[in-house]
Structure 1
Amino acid sequence: MPLIRFVLSQLIAWAVIFAALKLGAPLSGFALALSQGALAALASRALGAPRWWHAFHLAFTPLVWAASGLGISAGWYLAAFTVLALFYWTSFRTQVPLFLTNAATTDAVLDLLPKKSARVLDAGAGTGSLVRPLAAARPDCQFVGIEAAPGPWLIGRLLAAGTTNVDWRRGDFWADDWAAYDLIYTFLSPVPMAEVWAKAQAQMRPGARLVSNSFAVPAVAPDFIVPATEAGGRELYVYSPAAKGKAPIKG
């Protein structure tokens, strides 16, 4: 789990620093902070954390040390932490940050909707930047947006108020039954895509589409790819999870 590895890396680094100080190492101020960061980065690498975590560990304690000299009231740090927590919520566990779908991508998804009335799910819907314009363009369709983080969810709730063909929910899209949808849209990260594919294959009905913004399902060939030039700067990977005979790509 990323959080456990983060805490463990920091604890290992601080244990080495405290041991060095006990032995008389001349460490203080920025030199101490930088040494702890370097040790935490090494520990993170040894524990097999993703590469970007190493840079985070390297910078974390030096930045805390630098911030401590700015004279900023502790209340501002608490406020910043609260805002980040409200918007990023369980990102430390899911490794899925907040991504917002742009207007050009929304237009590309609109072209992928069935011509007849359909049910569409935005799994991890953010502030509803996809479902609201789609709902306006296709009043014959029903759109469901599920978002876990309370900050984006509240914004989406306010903006979607009064839109009768948008069902705006706060919760875990993994707990939802995907059999009810004709198209499911995701804009997550590379980390959960194998799990997304497993759920889609298990639950989505024949003819239903899975559309992933930017992140392909590992080792699975999409039906087709909407190029970035036509989809707002990011590729859209389009799959038919219930299709029979779809073979994985051999690495």
Structure 2
Amino acid sequence: MGALSRAESRHPLLPALAAQGFGIVAVGLPTLVFFPSLLQQAMLLAMLQGGIAAIMARALQAPSWWLVIHIVFMPLVVGVRALDLPAWTWPTGLILLLLVFWRTDRGQVPLYLSSRECVESVLPLLPSRPCRVIDLGCGDGALLRRLARARPDSRFVGVEHAPLPWLWAWLAGRSLPNLKIVWGSFWSLPLDGYDLVYAYLSPAPMSRLWAKATAEMSPGALLVSNSFAVPERMADSRIAVSDRAMTYFYVYRPAGLAV
């Protein structure tokens, strides 16, 4: 299937729906037939369903962050229902989630935010001369704002496709003349002309990102991936970030390398 693996190319909602459905059937059917009295224990059943759904998702090779979603989804539904909230809170909550996470189901990239300590690890990687940096999926833009303040001689661009994080990043960065926040998909933006490309994505799109980087990045430019390595590619260096998450940067020089 070319550079993309089979797991990367399939729609991520399909295994998610399959896992949730399996969990509902695996818990609901025996309960209805053999243990109807347990129907009064909604939270217990929800926790069982979440655990079984996570196990099934693991068997279907879903990304690890989906496992957490499966575990907490049904208990959250039961818990929120017990609060007896007004009807309007449900569509409002759904809209807010959509504005924050947008098409995470398609891009397979959840909202990750870089730690403050990441700034101190990125700064030494920048050339001493004025340079250009782009953050692919910049979230709330905090990393770029700190970099822009530390390097007023350089230009920084952040790309974010989720509306609410983009709006936050754009508003918070308006006072910085060397920072630009763009709304949209970074896949449509060329990477040539940037001295450093920063990405904090997920394992799923890394092969595709590598193909884009090798085709577009300028000679000598660095691709810095927070936490996620390019499959089957040895990083030029690996940098430990002194944060609570024990983050690692994987640093590559993709220009001129074959896909």
**TM-score scaled by structure 1?**
0.82
Question: Alpha-carbon deviations, 1:94-146, whole Å to 9, x = none?
Answer: 22222222332112211111122222111111111122222222222211111
1:219 aligns with 2:232: yes
Q: Which residue of 2 aligns with 1:118?
A: 131
1:98, 1:123 → 2: CA distance? Answer: 12
- Opposite residue 201 of structure 2, the aligned amino acid is L
Matches within 5 A, 1:5-84: 5-11=15-21, 24-27=33-36, 28-29=39-40, 30=42, 33=46, 37=50, 40-41=53-54, 44-45=57-58, 47-50=60-63, 53-54=66-67, 56-84=69-97
Deviation of the 1:35 alpha carbon: 6.4
Pick from 185, 189, 200 the counterpart of residue 202 of structure 2: 189
Aligned to 1:166: 179
Paired residues of 1:108 and 1:230 also in contact (CA < 8 A): no
Structure 2 alignment gaps of length 5 or more: 1-10
Task: Tell me the TM-score normalized by structure 2.
Answer: 0.79
TM superposition shift of 1:55? 5.6
For the pair shown, the structure with the greater C-alpha radius of gyration is 1
Deviation (angstroms), 1:172: 0.3
1:4 Cα deviation after fit:
2.3
Q: Of the candidates 117, 121, 124, which is equivalent to residue 108 of structure 1?
A: 121
Separation in 2, partners of 1:230, 1:34 = 32
Instruction: Tell me the secondary structure at the aligned position of residue 232 of structure 2.
Output: coil
Q: CA deviation at 1:154?
A: 0.6
Give the 3-state SS of the residue equivalent to 2:242 in structure 1: helix
| Matched residue, 1:203 | 216
Task: Choose the corresponding residue for 1:91, options 100, 104, 112.
Answer: 104
- 2:8 corresponds in structure 1 to none
Contact 1:108–1:231 at 8 Å: present in 2 too?
no
Instruction: Tell me if structure 1 keeps the 8 A contact 2:50–2:75.
Output: yes
Greater Cα shift, 151-160 or 67-76: 67-76
Identity %: 40
Structure 1 position 138 matched with structure 2 position 130: no
How far residue 184 of structure 1 moved from its aligned partner, in angstroms, is: 0.4
RMSD over equivalenced CA pairs, Å: 3.0
CA contact (8 A) 2:115 2:243 kept: no
Q: Deviations over 1:131-170 (max 9, x none)?
A: 2222222222211111111111111111111322222100
Q: 1:84 to 1:116 in 2, by over 3 A?
A: same
Which residue number corresponds to residue 13 of structure 2?
Answer: 3
